[in-house]
């Protein structure tokens, strides 16, 4: 019997999170409501591309590189404490505004809270056993590139920033994924790959972010190590954040340039029941690599700002957050609202990236612009399929998103079909989804978009709701486990790096460790094991409520995370991430022994005191006193009879005198 094909997965991709988990999940739920109305599946997996800000309590704020006035606790602490639970499986990476102490605890990856998984400083996992997601945390800084991970809590003004700078050690390990296992489906980074802006609509990017112009002109915008990963791993999709702008690009790995083709402005219907818009007629010959642009994108509207947690002013301090000169919480440079793409227009080109698809939605009383762009299996052809059909090389679809906020493009929903399901007719795989987003507010017949009215038919019958699918399972990538095991001895915890061996020797070690993983990890001989079987979420730092009760606000000390210990034990490597200091366990055991001895001594003293109390004469009324009161005297307490009175003149005569 043939094995069932892996089902397609619907992803909700978020740019910078900035601690606003409640708003993110509310927006995803809004998309799910629309999907259910269309009879489509819900989002299976949420991906957050850095600046996640996993603050467990206020002390963690002191481990984030951000001016004090911009520090905010955010929403994550409620998920950490268990007051709330993530409604979707969520995978996150780190950026340059993080609870760095907590992230370092889970250097190899781990559950930050139930159903919220941190990919680690570098990592690769398999979702449902087939969707390969790899990623790199942090941003580029040349001065720290070759250093080891030397930063420790408490951080100073220098190390609180260098701790999130990407290192050569982590990138070198990710490069070993090439030609090992299936190709990477999705790569996540906070920073952009160097030069990726040259493969999209650069002019529109510069109109919205003019302060990037010098870096674009000198080809210095982005991260050189990420460019190396892009060209080497050649993933199907690459998602980023950091610059607080939505930007799409196509990167052709055979060197072909990406062509930009403008199209005519859209026409809008003016009466109820008419088509919402009239798509322009497609030319006879279509360019499969075009990126469609709208002429009306020159009009960039600045949305009203509605600061969220941590947002105080549009004029924040300068920081390493390039996309927002005002700092990590600035709300300036909002992307202008756009309109949705027509389904017919989207179906014209299987390789296009539409830059203007967006909906206006309402979350918690505020409107937040988001992208909802489900992709059809027939449209989103895999790189291998494209190469076979058109003799073209593989292509990476790049998308950067902004941060949550009013008028910001921070969320993209898309379907990623498996290789198997993409190569079969649509009827044999998941039902195809429409490429045009539906109206955002189902209770209204029309919605305002940039002053125009998008008219929808009010008499359409709602589609049958799709049955909810089970939560995807998260597995360790066996090849990544082998790479971690082979490179563990070269992890440097000092500024001076530990060099890798020659490539040939490293390759042999990885191959040997892959054989070890297949033999010792999992049960099927393939090294595949579910993350939940190895790592169990465990709180290390106090919750916010516990921290408030203790009245402590200083920077927290180190914590040894049980998940990191479990991961190290799985691979048989030494745990070097916040290891328990030498002598600490012995001192802890000695302290426990002293406490136990003191408890025993106190118990014995209590027993002795109780024994002395039993031996004492009971206090109470005497028998004569009870007799005088006319009370019955207990048998054992009756007084002895008094002897007869002695007569001094009496002569005693014994009975035996007669003898």
For the chain, the distance separating the N- and C-terminal CA atoms, rounded to the nearest angstrom, is 126
Per-residue tokens: 142: 């040349």
Q: Is the confidence at residue 206, as pLDDT, over 80?
A: yes
* Model confidence band, residue 422 (pLDDT cutoffs 50, 70, 90): very low
Strand partners, 278: 267
- The pLDDT tens digits for 309-320 are 333 333 333 346
Q: Is the confidence at residue 383, as pLDDT, over 50?
A: no
Q: Comparing C-alpha atoms, which of 269, 40, 241, 222 is closest to residue 135?
A: 241
> Beta strand 131-136 with 260-263: parallel, antiparallel or unpaired?
unpaired
Which is more confident, 435 or 11? 11
Provide the 8-state DSSP code for 579. Answer: P
Identify which of 267-271, 325-329, 602-606 has the greatest average pLDDT.
602-606
Provide the 8-state DSSP code for 199. Answer: G
Check if the beta carbon of residue 234 is closer than 8 Å to that of residue 395.
no
C-alpha 219/C-alpha 91 separation (Å) is 31
Q: Comparing C-alpha atoms, which of 347, 557, 531 is closest to residue 434?
A: 347
Buried b (16+ CB within 10 A) or exposed e, 548-572: eeeeeeeebebbebbbbbbbbebbe
How buried is residue 239: exposed, middle or buried, by Cβ count under 10 Å (0-12/13-18/19+)? buried
C-alpha 112/C-alpha 82 separation (Å) is 12
Q: Is the confidence at residue 232, as pLDDT, over 90?
A: yes
Q: Is the confidence at residue 147, as pLDDT, over 90?
A: yes
Question: Which of the residue ranges 325-334, 392-401, 483-492 would you say has the lowest mean pLDDT?
Answer: 325-334
Mean pLDDT in residue range 396-407: 95
Q: Is the confidence at residue 577, as pLDDT, over 90?
A: yes
Buried b (16+ CB within 10 A) or exposed e, 198-221: ebbbbebbeebbeebeeebeeeeb
Mean pLDDT in residue range 336-365: 34
Q: Is the confidence at residue 388, as pLDDT, over 50?
A: no
Which is more confident, 440 or 327? 327
Per-residue tokens: 474: 């998260």
> Beta strand 411-416 with 366-372: parallel, antiparallel or unpaired?
parallel
Q: Comparing C-alpha atoms, which of 194, 197, 198, 186 is closest to residue 166?
A: 194
Q: Is the confidence at residue 578, as pLDDT, over 80?
A: yes
**How many of the other CB atoms lie within 10 Å of CB of 493?**
13
Q: Is the confidence at residue 360, as pLDDT, over 60?
A: no
DSSP-based three-state secondary structure for 293: strand
- The pLDDT tens digits for 7-34 are 899 999 999 999 999 999 999 999 999 9
How buried is residue 423: exposed, middle or buried, by Cβ count under 10 Å (0-12/13-18/19+)? middle
Residue 602, C-beta contacts closer than 8 angstroms, at least 6 positions apart: none
Q: What is the residue-averaged pLDDT of the chain? A: 76
Check if the beta carbon of residue 265 is closer than 8 Å to that of residue 294.
yes
Q: What is the largest CA-CA distance in the chain?
A: 162
C-alpha 529/C-alpha 126 separation (Å) is 10
Per-residue tokens: 387: 């190469």
C-alpha 419/C-alpha 383 separation (Å) is 10
Mean pLDDT in residue range 359-368: 32
Domain boundaries, the chain: 9-267+289-445+467-477+537-571
Question: Which of the residue ranges 204-208, 583-587, 642-646 would you say has the lowest mean pLDDT?
Answer: 642-646
Check if the beta carbon of residue 77 is closer than 8 Å to that of residue 56.
yes
Which is more confident, 586 or 502? 502
pLDDT at 610: 80
Task: Label each residue of 392-418 as H, E or C.
Answer: CCCEEEEEECCCCCCCCCCEEEEEECC
CA-based Rg of the chain, rounded to a whole angstrom?
A: 36
Q: Is the confidence at residue 120, as pLDDT, over 70?
A: yes
Q: Is the confidence at residue 378, as pLDDT, over 50?
A: no
C-alpha 277/C-alpha 399 separation (Å) is 26
Which is more confident, 452 or 216? 216
Q: Is the confidence at residue 327, as pLDDT, over 90?
A: no
DSSP-based three-state secondary structure for 398: strand
pLDDT at 5: 57
Check if the beta carbon of residue 66 is closer than 8 Å to that of residue 319.
yes
**What pTM was estimated for this model as a whole?**
0.70
């Amino acid at each position: 019997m043939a094995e069932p094909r892996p089902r397609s997965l619907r992803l909700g991709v978020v740019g910078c999170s900035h601690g606003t988990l409640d708003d993110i999940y509310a927006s995803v739920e809004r998309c799910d409501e629309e999907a259910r109305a269309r009879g489509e599946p819900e989002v299976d997996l949420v991906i957050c591309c850095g600046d996640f800000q996993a603050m467990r309590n206020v002390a963690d704020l002191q481990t984030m590189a951000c001016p004090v006035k911009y520090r905010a606790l955010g929403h994550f602490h409620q998920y950490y404490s268990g007051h709330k639970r993530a409604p979707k499986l969520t995978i996150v990476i780190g950026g340059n505004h993080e609870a760095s102490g907590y992230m370092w605890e889970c250097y190899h990856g781990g559950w930050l809270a139930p159903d919220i998984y941190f990919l680690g400083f570098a990592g690769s996992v398999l979702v449902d056993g087939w969707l390969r997601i790899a990623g790199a945390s942090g941003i580029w800084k040349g001065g720290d590139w070759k250093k080891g991970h030397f930063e420790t809590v408490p951080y100073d003004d220098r190390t609180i920033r260098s701790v999130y700078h990407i290192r050569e050690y982590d990138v070198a390990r990710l490069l070993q994924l090439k030609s090992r296992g299936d190709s990477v489906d999705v790569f996540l980074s906070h920073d952009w790959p160097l030069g990726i802006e040259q493969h999209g609509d650069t002019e529109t990017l510069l109109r919205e972010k003019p302060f990037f112009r010098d870096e674009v002109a000198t080809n210095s915008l982005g991260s050189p190590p990420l460019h190396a990963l892009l060209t080497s791993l050649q993933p199907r999709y690459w998602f980023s954040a950091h610059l607080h702008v939505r930007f799409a690009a196509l990167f052709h790995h055979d060197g072909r340039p990406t062509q930009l083709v403008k199209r005519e402005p859209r026409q809008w219907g003016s009466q109820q029941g008419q088509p919402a818009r009239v798509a322009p007629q497609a030319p006879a010959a279509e360019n499969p690599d075009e990126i469609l642009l709208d002429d009306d994108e020159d009009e960039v509207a600045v949305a009203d700002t509605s600061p969220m947690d941590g947002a105080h002013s549009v004029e924040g301090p300068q920081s390493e957050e390039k996309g927002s000169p005002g700092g990590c919480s600035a709300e300036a440079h909002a992307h202008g609202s756009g309109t949705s793409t027509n389904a017919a227009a989207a179906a014209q080109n299987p390789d296009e990236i539409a830059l203007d698809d967006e909906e206006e939605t309402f979350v918690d009383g505020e409107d937040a612009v988001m992208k909802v762009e489900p992709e059809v299996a027939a449209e989103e052809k895999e790189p291998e399929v494209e190469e076979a059909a058109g003799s073209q090389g593989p292509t990476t679809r790049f998308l950067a998103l902004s941060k949550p906020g009013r008028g910001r493009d921070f969320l993209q929903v898309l379907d990623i079909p498996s290789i198997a399901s993409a190569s079969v007719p649509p009827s044999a795989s998941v039902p195809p989804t429409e490429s045009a987003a539906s109206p955002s507010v189902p209770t209204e017949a029309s919605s305002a978009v940039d002053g125009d009215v998008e008219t929808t038919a009010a008499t359409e019958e709602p589609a049958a709701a799709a049955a909810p699918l089970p939560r995807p399972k998260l597995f360790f990538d066996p090849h990544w486990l082998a790479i971690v095991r082979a490179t563990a001895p070269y992890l440097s915890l000092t500024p001076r790096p530990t060099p890798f061996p020659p490539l040939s020797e490293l390759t042999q070690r990885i191959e040997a460790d892959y054989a070890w993983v297949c033999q010792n990890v999992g049960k099927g001989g393939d090294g595949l094991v579910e993350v939940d079987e190895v790592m169990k979420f465990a709180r290390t730092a106090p919750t916010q409520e516990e921290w408030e009760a203790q009245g402590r606000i200083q920077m927290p000390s180190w914590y040894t995370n049980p998940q990191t210990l479990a991961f190290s034990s799985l691979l048989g490597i030494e745990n070097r991430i916040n290891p328990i200091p030498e002598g600490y366990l012995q001192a802890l055991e000695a302290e426990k022994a002293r406490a136990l001895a003191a408890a025993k001594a106190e118990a014995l003293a209590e027993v002795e005191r109780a024994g002395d109390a039993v031996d004492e004469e009971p206090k109470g009324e005497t028998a004569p006193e009870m007799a005088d009161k006319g009370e019955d005297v207990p048998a054992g307490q009756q007084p002895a009879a008094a002897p007869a009175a002695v007569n001094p003149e009496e002569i005693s005569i014994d009975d035996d005198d007669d003898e």
